[in-house]
């Protein structure tokens, strides 16, 4: 390490040894100073940034780690902003957490700080899903809320999501203003603790019933469920927050044959049965799929640790199981909602759906078919929530989602809702079986015949640590300076740069503003003459840069599905190779 960085890190570490920190934390810092200089650098070379969504990082001592002190500073900064923004009001906040190590500790710390600032605090009695926290903010008329979670990150991580009055994660201008206030909290003594414990109200099962009743109201095909209530449903919470409410929600709809993966019903922040608690990965879903094979179930489903994302594996006609990507899950849920809304006469021309810019283009085609507006927004559910907020009182939200395995049916929650989404997947399966005599996988194939075979791919390039972050930023600079002129021989005809909010016609050089997007983001998109779309985006929460691929071909009939699927997958692989990924 350089002399300057060495001095900076040692000075910050020494400040923790000299400061008002607990003895256990100081012992951990001493150990790093004496035994692990590399880890010491990673722990202190910068402050863990309170980003536009909150905090996320590896747990441990240090200014760049998740611990009670970085969580405390973030909470006090948020509290200070709330007091400025809602001067004279009794400020109300809700707090929940997932099953991760230290999540309850951090949640109770957050509750203590808010209570010490004189706020009315609603704290769940144990872990609860992120969507229920969003619901609680709205239901209890809170000004803000905090969810302690690192979503589907590895076990070493934890995080902190900050929410606003409408139950969505904070957006502009509050996000930037909160960051400014958090930056002002530089001393442990500035964080208020140990006061007003009477301000904390504990939420339990009675509140769960209110949330589950709202999900029940989303039901579109109760008759189909009644006829197929014994359908075998395999579910796993992956040791996380879906453990109680997902099975309860399925039973509320009328399903009575719910088969849980018992080994993964155990709450454990070490996630002992999986390498990573991410339902996007087949190896994470392996135990659920094995159980589905044993039981002969039509599908296996999972939620991630905070139960906002869902994974769905469907049985094919050959008897094996295909793990859907997030785009396919979104397409099925949106198609189901729009189909049933149309059949029930609920579409009036004043309804809308939402998806993110890196999500498949198939939902646009589906929405157009039903005469429903499809909005595109920046990546992140807070932007979907922002559109819902802007449209309230004007048009009706049906559903929306993003490729990263998140979907929100209905607007009583303003974040991804794995509990509601899983329940609707099950209902859609019952409806498909009752009305068409087919499985969800067979219906998905029919949708590709109807709308075109949209196929997506994702490549994550991981670059960890300080050097990795710099390398990712340089990759984006290089792509802006030297974008590809063609992809697999098809000319790039349009470049969308969301950092400048410009759409560039590569043939004419004409530049114009990107429609419908009013906030900047470090994302690039290349659109080719043959309809291919490639999106490049550094992750906001993980040390990686993401490449999203979207290709399309006509599908004449279901019998040609596997052939066309293989061709499209080969095309995606060839594009990735051409980009040296």
Residue 130: count of CB within 10 angstroms of its CB: 33
Q: Where are the beta strands (DSSP E) in 416-575?
A: 453-462, 486-487, 490-497, 502-505, 511-513, 524-528, 533-538, 544-553
Which bin fits 501, alpha (ψ -120 to 50), beta or left (φ > 0)?
A: left
- What are phi and psi for residue 325, nearest 5 degrees? -85, 170
573: exposed, middle or buried (C-beta count within 10 Å: 0-12, 13-18, 19+)? Answer: middle
Contact 53, 182 (CB under 8 A): no
**DSSP-assigned beta bridge partners for residue 314:** 299, 322
SS3 for 489-519 is CEEEEEEEECCCCEEEECCCCCEEECCCCCC
Q: What is the CA radius of gyration of the chain?
A: 24
Residue (of 48, 57, 55) closest to 12 by Cα position:
48
**Torsion sign (Cα): 438, 441, 446, 450:** positive
- What are phi and psi for residue 24, nearest 5 degrees? -60, -40
Distance CA 438, CA 416 (A): 28
**Torsion sign (Cα): 14, 17, 21, 24:** positive
Contact 191, 169 (CB under 8 A): no
Known catalytic membership, residue 151: yes
C-alpha dist (Å) from residue 350 to 70, 208, 393, 397: 45, 32, 11, 9
**Could you give the angle at which helices 130-139 and 418-436 cross, rounded to 10 degrees?**
100
Distance CA 348, CA 396 (A): 10
How far from each other are the two terminal CA atoms of the chain, in whole angstroms? 30
Contact 239, 266 (CB under 8 A): yes
Neighbouring C-alpha atoms within 13 Å toward the C-beta of 482: 4
Distance CA 163, CA 349 (A): 31
C-alpha dist (Å) from residue 220 to 209, 234, 246, 247, 344: 20, 22, 18, 19, 9
Residue 570: count of CB within 10 angstroms of its CB: 11
Helix, strand, coil percent content, the chain, rounded in steps of 5: 40, 20, 35
Query: Which among 151, 168, 249, 360 is annotated as catalytic?
Result: 151
Distance CA 421, CA 415 (A): 12
Residues with catalytic function: 151
């Amino acid at each position: 390490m350089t002399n300057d960085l060495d001095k900076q890190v040692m000075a910050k570490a020494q400040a923790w040894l000299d400061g008002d920190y607990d003895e256990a934390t100081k012992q951990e810092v001493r150990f790093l100073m004496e035994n692990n200089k590399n880890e010491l650098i990673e722990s202190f070379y910068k402050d863990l940034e309170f980003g536009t969504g909150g905090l996320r990082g590896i747990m441990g001592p240090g200014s760049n780690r998740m611990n009670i002190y970085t969580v405390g500073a973030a909470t006090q900064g948020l509290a200070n902003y709330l007091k400025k923004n809602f001067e004279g009001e009794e400020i109300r906040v809700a707090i929940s957490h997932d099953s991760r190590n230290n999540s309850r500790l951090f949640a109770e710390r957050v509750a203590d700080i808010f209570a010490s600032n004189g706020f009315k605090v609603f704290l769940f009695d144990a872990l609860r899903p992120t969507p229920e926290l969003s619901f609680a903010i709205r239901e209890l008329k809170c000004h803000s809320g905090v969810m302690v979670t690192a979503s589907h990150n590895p076990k070493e991580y934890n995080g902190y999501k900050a929410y606003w009055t409408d139950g969505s994660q904070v957006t502009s201008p509050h996000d930037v203003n909160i960051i400014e206030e958090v930056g002002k909290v530089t001393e442990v003594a500035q964080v208020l603790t140990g006061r007003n414990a009477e301000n904390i109200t504990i939420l339990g099962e009675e509140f769960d019933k209110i949330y589950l009743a709202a999900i029940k109201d989303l039901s579109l095909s109760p008759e189909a469920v009644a006829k197929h209530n014994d359908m075998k449903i395999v579910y796993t919470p992956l040791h996380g927050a879906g453990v109680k409410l997902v099975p309860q929600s399925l039973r509320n709809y009328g399903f009575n044959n719910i088969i849980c993966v018992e080994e993964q019903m155990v709450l454990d922040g070490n996630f002992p049965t999986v390498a990573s608690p991410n339902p996007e990965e087949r190896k994470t879903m392996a135990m659920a799929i094995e159980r589905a094979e044993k039981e002969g179930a039509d599908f296996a489903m999972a939620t991630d640790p905070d139960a906002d994302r869902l994974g769905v594996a469907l049985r094919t006609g050959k008897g094996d199981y295909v793990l859907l990507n997030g785009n396919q899950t979104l397409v099925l849920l949106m198609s189901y909602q729009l189909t049933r809304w149309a059949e029930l006469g609920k579409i009036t021309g004043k309804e809308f759906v939402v998806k993110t810019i890196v999500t498949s283009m198939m939902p646009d085609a589906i929405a157009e078919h039903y005469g429903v507006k499809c909005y595109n927004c920046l990546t992140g559910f807070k932007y979907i929530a922002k559109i819902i907020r802007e449209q309230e009182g004007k048009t009706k939200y049906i559903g929306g989602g993003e490729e990263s395995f998140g979907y929100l049916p209905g607007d009583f929650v303003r974040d991804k809702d794995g509990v509601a989404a899983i329940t609707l997947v099950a209902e859609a399966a019952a409806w498909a079986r009752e009305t068409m005599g087919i499985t969800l996988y067979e219906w998905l194939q029919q949708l590709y015949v109807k709308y075109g075979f949209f196929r997506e791919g994702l490549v994550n390039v991981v670059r960890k640590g300080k050097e990795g972050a710099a390398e990712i930023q340089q990759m984006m600079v290089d792509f802006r300076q030297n974008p590809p002129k063609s992809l697999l021989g098809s000319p790039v005809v349009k470049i969308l740069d969301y950092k400048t909010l410009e759409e560039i016609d590569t043939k004419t050089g004409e530049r114009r503003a990107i429609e419908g997007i009013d906030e900047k983001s470090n994302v690039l998109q290349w659109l080719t003459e043959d309809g291919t779309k490639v999106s490049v985006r550094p992750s906001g929460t993980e040390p990686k840069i993401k490449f999203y691929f979207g290709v399309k071909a006509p599908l004449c009939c279901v019998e040609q599905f596997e052939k066309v699927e293989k061709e499209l997958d080969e095309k995606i692989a060839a594009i990735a190779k051409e980009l040296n990924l």
